[in-house]
Structure 1
Amino acid sequence: MTDHHGFDRSNALQARLHDLVPGGAHTYARGADQYPDAMAPILVRGKGAQVWDVDGNRYVEYGMGLRAVTLGHAYAPVLAAVTETIADGVSFSRPTELELLAAQDFLDLVPGADMVKFAKNGSDATTGAVRLARAVTGRATIAICDQPFFSVDDWFIGTTDMAGGIPAVDTVKFPYNDLDALEATLAGATVAAVFMEAATAMAEPLPGYLEGVRALCDRFGTLLVFDEMITGFRWSAGGAQAVYGVRPDLSCWGKAMGNGFPISALAGKREYMERGGLRTEDDRVFLLSTTHGPETSALAAFRAVVAAYRTEDPVARMEKAGQSLADGVNAIADDLGLADFLQVRGRPSCLIYRTLDAEGAPSQAFRTLFLQELLVRGVLGQSFVTSAAHDADAITATIDACAEAAEIYRRAIARGTVDGLLRGRPVAPALRRTAAPRQIEASTRR
């Protein structure tokens, strides 16, 4: 791996960010508390599967913009499309032809949807779906699957440990792959929408499960909403609904739609989506109305992404890279007797790694140790989520770094503790009630 130059400039800039930006980052998952102590790189550029920080360190990056980049950083056809488009203006007082072309492209990819509306972030789309489902059904309760994240808005954040400032929410949870539990949740006929990811990195639907969810929603008059933020363009260009063959009433998209450019979408059946339009005899729904939703740069990026998925096979490349990485790291863990403690799991295009302590329990401290050792060896990743730009060289470099990191991990397992090996505090869950384990110190203010 490349020589490592430390984190001095990154640490100085991170301290200053804490002075000016709450949390020191604009996304909780990007926060310094998600990385080992004083080892949170501040990045300056990326190309393909690699990124560089302000200290001159180069990394093979995973996670790829919180799963928003599937084609690789600075993917030339996307940049070219955006550059050409924005030369003619970005935002106007009326729709552009580009909005029609982008909508046609989207609906060609997602044949289960009749209409689509674009926005800027995933929460715009998911909360639009919630509002629409409540209006259509006349009900208030939202049933969400017990999965990680759906929205920054009250209806979801009110169910998390960071519910400060949020009034009581009418949201209930149900477990994945359990039709009996979902039936009990819907039995009172008060649920407006069942909100779920059709699959996750760690959980595939059991045979008949999604079909059963669809049938239960139909039986109880509840709208079925698929969150395709992660599965869209990573399971397939048409999302999980195309892979599993189950049509939702509404679906919500984002992340990889623009290969990093900000764009999201709410799509669904015409009978519901028209409630937010001008061709309805029902009371209209304030569905989505955003100044920047239709700006041209992101729509051009989206169309270039669609072109890449039509002419190449990015999903196959992501899966090939992920499978090679999982096989390589799991083989190392097995050889070192760590198979019960260090594991790469999940769909090959959406891998995570599990870090367990000497007792076999999930451990933030052991996770931090693994992150620490990967960082100094040129690998940046809270996960092992790949892109189509992760070539054989990137995977080999990562496996080599994991082999060295695993040796240190084995020492910690033998000791039963990371003490003496971990350089600072462990990472902490991104969504938590307090800033513990410790407050972030302020920089010297100017």
Structure 2
Amino acid sequence: MATEEFHLPRSRQANERLHAMIPGGAHTYAKGDDQYPENLAPVISHGRGAHVWDIDGNRYVEYGSGLRSVSLGHAHPGVLEAVRRELDRGSNFVRPSIVEAEAAERFLATVPTAEMVKFAKNGSDATTAAVRLARAATGRPRVAICADHPFFSVDDWFIGTTPMSAGIPAATNELTVAFPYGDLAATEELLTRYQDEVACLILEPATVVEPPPGYLAGLRELADRHGCVLIFDEMITGFRWSEAGAQGLYGVVPDLSTFGKALGNGFAVSALAGRRDLMELGGLRHSGDRVFLLSTTHGAETHSLAAAMAVQTTYAEEGTTARLHLLGERLAAGVREAAATMGVGDHIVVRGRASNLVFATLDENGRPSQPYRTLFLRRLLTGGVLAPSFVVSSALSDADIDHTVEVVAQACAVYRKALDAADPTPWLAGRPVKPVFRRLV
């Protein structure tokens, strides 16, 4: 059992305050304290670079920063300088700012496969706008989502397909159908079954697994042949796969794509981009029915758009995507070696592209286990590593990664003891962490 005492009394009190006023105790379910070991959910005071400090005074090496949004590290000087230049000039006006034109030009130069772009504040608004646009363009009601990808939107068309579907009418759920990633035959069968009913195929072009050879090109051909819109959700792949996203890396052009997360390095900005003829349906320069595409009061805040432009500049000038891959490769190699050395290489498994690493915690039978995840997270936290994933930021140093690997090795030693006992319970010190999507609290 654990011998080190690690307590977060101020964080525990702050979590109680949060739950008293905010449903779920956080503004994103993935940040909830149910995702962390009991009474070990740190509440953050501040962050700089690859480190964060909690209100109890502990410093952590942080991974998955801002749910993958902070890829350059916290308080990045170049981004902050760009934001500060705009703050004294006003953030929102009754007419467009010239910054909107500059940000659009910069984005379309970065993602040359797109012809028009519209900015918003969060990913859900962008993906839902893409779906609405596809329905308007095709006149079809159904949305086909990739069943193997975890999240697309907070809106009904997606959330109705999850275990947390309370409050969403069955009639809405029936309009969303699913296809498996990497299986063109199954997708074609779906499109044939719902012939002339599917408005779009929406998927992340890549996640933990790389697309099989020819898959994305095959999906492009299927969409064309069946007359539906191909949408790439590039919230995660954008910038982490290449500056132009997965579409830039794999050379397959979607009709529409959505970006966010890394685009603002923590500032609230997302983007819907794509073909001019589709995007213009949400504009004024056509003679058809108008589409209420995106209309957000704060979608073009000048300082957030300035942050986005600074992020793109940094990626281009500093080769950030390549650095993310190098850091991830070093981390993955270290974790795998530590796990193998401690005899748990088949139980703590690092997966995904080097710039977007996740880990699986498997029990003695090789099955995913929330109790073993809890054990692992407890030991990481005790060692000063905050890691719901192993997604890197470019602010990490070699010393940070070396420290992380050392802590992982210590965690693996405890993990081995739990496996030998075939019971991690004595090492949990409370309830296991819980999956985000579940029907009951």
TM (norm. structure 1) is: 0.96
Q: C-alpha displacement at 1:6, in angstroms?
A: 2.4
The residue number in structure 1 matching 2:199 is: 192
* Mapped contact 2:71–2:392 kept (Cα < 8 A): yes
3-state SS in 2 of match to 1:321: helix
Measured in 2, the distance between the counterparts of 1:53 and 1:427 equals 20
Figure out how many residues of one structure are paired with residues of the other and give that number.
432
Moved over 6 A (4+): none
* Mapped contact 2:205–2:216 kept (Cα < 8 A): yes
* Mapped contact 2:342–2:409 kept (Cα < 8 A): no
Residue type at the aligned position of 1:246: V
3-state SS in 2 of match to 1:420: helix
Residue type at the aligned position of 2:167: G
Measured in 1, the distance between the counterparts of 2:437 and 2:181 equals 21
The residue number in structure 2 matching 1:180 is: 185
The residue number in structure 2 matching 1:55 is: 56
Structure 1 unaligned residues grouped into runs of 5+: 436-446
Matched, 1:24 2:25: yes
Kindly indicate which of the two structures has a greater share of residues assigned to helix. 2
3-state SS in 2 of match to 1:189: coil
The residue number in structure 2 matching 1:116 is: 117
Structure 2 unaligned residues grouped into runs of 5+: none
Q: C-alpha displacement at 1:225, in angstroms?
A: 0.2
Alignment match of 2:369 (pick from 358, 363, 369) = 363
Q: How does 1:346-361 map to 2 (within 5 A)?
A: 346-361=352-367
The residue number in structure 1 matching 2:218 is: 212
* Mapped contact 1:64–1:70 kept (Cα < 8 A): yes
Matched, 1:235 2:237: no
* Mapped contact 2:128–2:153 kept (Cα < 8 A): yes
Measured in 2, the distance between the counterparts of 1:277 and 1:252 equals 18
Q: C-alpha displacement at 1:343, in angstroms?
A: 1.3
Matched, 1:324 2:330: yes
Measured in 2, the distance between the counterparts of 1:44 and 1:333 equals 32
Alignment match of 2:255 (pick from 228, 249, 259) = 249
Q: Deviations over 1:150-188 (max 9, x none)?
A: 000000000000111111221011100000011011112
Alignment match of 1:163 (pick from 162, 165, 176) = 165
Q: C-alpha displacement at 1:38, in angstroms?
A: 0.3
Q: C-alpha displacement at 1:189, in angstroms?
A: 2.1
Q: Deviations over 1:238-275 (max 9, x none)?
A: 00000000000000111110100000000010000000
* Mapped contact 1:5–1:57 kept (Cα < 8 A): no
Q: How does 1:270-349 map to 2 (within 5 A)?
A: 270-349=276-355
The residue number in structure 1 matching 2:419 is: 413
Q: C-alpha displacement at 1:5, in angstroms?
A: 6.2
3-state SS in 2 of match to 1:349: helix
Q: Deviations over 1:295-347 (max 9, x none)?
A: 11100100110110121111111111111111011111111221111111211
Measured in 2, the distance between the counterparts of 1:338 and 1:310 equals 39
* Mapped contact 2:237–2:245 kept (Cα < 8 A): yes
Measured in 1, the distance between the counterparts of 2:394 and 2:342 equals 30
3-state SS in 1 of match to 2:425: coil
* Mapped contact 1:4–1:378 kept (Cα < 8 A): no
The residue number in structure 1 matching 2:94 is: 93
Q: C-alpha displacement at 1:4, in angstroms?
A: 8.2
The residue number in structure 2 matching 1:441 is: none
Residue type at the aligned position of 1:196: L
The residue number in structure 2 matching 1:225 is: 231
* Mapped contact 2:371–2:425 kept (Cα < 8 A): no
Residue type at the aligned position of 1:337: G
Q: Deviations over 1:51-90 (max 9, x none)?
A: 0000000000000100001111000010111011111101
The residue number in structure 1 matching 2:209 is: 203
The residue number in structure 1 matching 2:47 is: 46
Q: Deviations over 1:339-373 (max 9, x none)?
A: 11111121110001110001111101100100010
Q: C-alpha displacement at 1:94, in angstroms?
A: 0.3
Measured in 1, the distance between the counterparts of 2:248 and 2:312 equals 15
Measured in 2, the distance between the counterparts of 1:282 and 1:350 equals 42
Residue type at the aligned position of 1:409: Y
Measured in 1, the distance between the counterparts of 2:323 and 2:119 equals 28
